[in-house]
Structure 1
Amino acid sequence: MRTYLAAATAGIVVITGTGIAVAQAAPAADEVVRTGSLVNTCANPVVDRDVTGWGRHGTGAAGSRVGVGAHVAADHAYRQPSANGVNPEMFLPQKDVTEGERWLFAMDTWVSGTSAPVTARMQVDWYGPSSAYLGHSNGTEVAVEPNAAETWTRVAGEFFVPGGATRANVTARLTGPAGLTWSATACDYQPVARPDPDPTTPPPTTPPPTGADTAAERYDWGTALPASDEFDYGSAAAPAQADATKWTLPPGEAAGCWPGHRGNGRRCEENSRVLGGIMRMTGDADGDTGRLGSTFAQRYGRWEVRARSEATSANNGRQYHPVLLLWPDSEEWPRDGEYDYLENGAPGELCAKAFMHFPNHQPREQEYAEKCTVDLTQWHNFGFEWTPQHVKGFIDGQQWFVFSADCIQCAPGPMFQTIQLDNFAGSNQQTAIFEVDWARVYSL
């Protein structure tokens, strides 16, 4: 059995070849204190023979295979020297994937050559058949402490494979100054599984926890407008309709229900109810779902919604899509644009996604953003800012995308907030809920 020594707060943790950690006394002077992670699976994970699959990307300098002496599992690493530019990147071995899968992509990294704060993240470029480029996803930023001595930090991100993707081109990015020496090893690719929910367990009805950061607080958006809704009416025992002064259905449609997304199922008034602190939108097995549209529209402004989503029955591959979006008051689509600042292919996914639609779908159809790891079964604050200069998205007060190229922000008229649990498949749906704690709107 091979043993390694890993740094701990008190004494030493021995990590065995089976990955079991056992407390030990401090090492003798001639013992090596090792850090890092044990490797699960990845092509050429520890660069043991060559650098196949590893290389420079973006402003990263050309690297090489080097020996390392203080990693718990690796004897070699891929190193980009101090010739790195600002915010360097590197690519890692590629991975074949299938749409709808969830993957954790990780590596261990060591940075030296600066005293400035540094963060690192995993990234993915998605490709389909015939190497067709499908989009890019960013993982969560991880703080990395620069150190002249060999010290390894785990950097990981969870990613949801988009439709049509067959290959993940995995990369990593440092946020830091030029001149860093950057080493990486122990790449680790693991499938992420989430168990099916128990349909006999009802969704919770207690108010959600508070205290998460908001973009409104962080960036001083001011006072929320009267069109905002805290959903502090109704109760679990006596659910209420959404406030008719703040929310409405599209005009001219039959009362009660109207055709669903592209004719799939129906959007029914009774599928959106306020339970005294929470608005719960339900997607039924027969395809009936809900939708709320704000009565207030404006050209340019800021919006923020605290929300979560969750499937409530076993996955049958026919899942609802939770969506927070701005829709043109003119109802002219795609002429007047559409900004989906949260749009996921299934409730409770581990990555948040957004689609910004160009007005008239010109010069391109849309921009796409993705942020992992964001567990959508948990409460998060999703913010959106629309100005004459850009469109920006925020999660829990942190910016996660900004677009301004080709005048994507140039939707010509007012837009209003909608909350939707869209049906893309018809009937025989996996049941789901989309819950909102509050929905706030701010002037620019």
Structure 2
Amino acid sequence: MEKQIYSWLIIIYLYITKSTVGSLCTIRDDGHCFYTVNCDDPARISINRPCDTDPYVTLIINKSPVHNVTANAFNTSFDKYVQILSTEDNDWNNVQDFAFSNFKNVMYIDLSESHIKSIGRAFIGLGQLDSLNLSRNDLEIIDPGVFKFTEDKSRLYLLDLSYNLLTYLQEDFFENLYNLRKLYLQGNKLTFLGHQHFKHLKNLDYLNLCCSNLSTLDISLKSLTTLTEIDLSNNNLEKVDLFDLKSLEAIDVSHNNIEEVMFDEFREFANLREINFGYNKLKNICASDDNLVTKVSKPLVKVQFDHNNISHIDRGFFTIFSHISLLDLSHNILIEFEPDTFKHVKVLQILNVPNCRVTISKEILSTLENTYIFDSTKNDDDCRKGSYNVNNEIKYTEKFMRNKILNLEEPIPKYEVTNGFLTSVLLDKIRFYLSEFVNKIFT
């Protein structure tokens, strides 16, 4: 009998302890009237601290016991001072109309990873809201009215709907978001986006449609005249038509099924600095001969063609893009370059060649005397032994090897070529340096 009583006392004690810990509310003074409040029920707490100005409050709703968030569910005595609203470890199946409307001056709301399955017009009246994160929830449908915060045009700058279960968006979905700059839609199940979806997004500069199972891009992007970066990677696209988007600076279409690209069209892209066609099915890189080219896109500095089936690269490509700094051709089937392939190249600094047996002629080595040529092929015994089919000794000046390309803490040793073989030690150094520094420098 005593043992049973003792056991029940332990259970009651643990329950009370757990409940007490879960309901703790904390206020952190970050200085200069900045406060961070972390609580499951912020109505139970108040901020009574002397301030010369209105306090700036970050509110974190943590482990809230509610599953159905009703109107003004988290009323506090400091509503008007909350600038940032975030959540942690919540399980909110349903977020209803006016759920957060009491936070009139909030600028940033993060409801990510809150297990939300449905959401109503929870943000009505939030005229100051400029960033909204609803990523990594369980949303299948979102009514367009959710983003109509006021009767005026929304000032929302960033909207993150990534990694939900969205399969369909109504054509007026973004109707009120005239000021939107960043839109994250990746990781959903969207199979179709119509011509009308983006017509209201006159100021959008970043669009992410990665990992969305898209097989076709049946959308007109002509209205996105300010778009500078688009991510279409990790889909099932066989072709892309982005040639209306002359404002683009970065394009990522890697990890698709693209077999052919008309690179001549890119000559009109005056600001293009980076393209990634890695992990596709490209066979040839072709473009018009220099006699036919009237405009040249100079800014492009980083080009990735790795992991394709490329067997030929035309010199006309470098006529259009003569200012490439980094070119990745690794993991292709190209075995040699034509002697004049790089004759128009002006500033190529790093060339990652297709494999360790590619032939590099004396003419090319002479043209690329200031280019850092390497092979990053891995898991190839011949490559790891250092075989490299070059036709003459590669020489680099001490000046070039000192931090010019990779900004290294110490200079890379000079190439030592004996009977056409590079030392395996050098190849290992190259792999290490590039993995550490290339992305840092060219992004």
TM over 0.5: no
The TM-score bracket by the shorter chain reads: under 0.3
Which structure would you say has the larger RCO, counting Cα contacts within 8 Å and 6 or more residues apart?
A: 1
The structure carrying a bigger strand percent of its residues is: 1
TM-score normalised by structure 2 residue count: 0.21
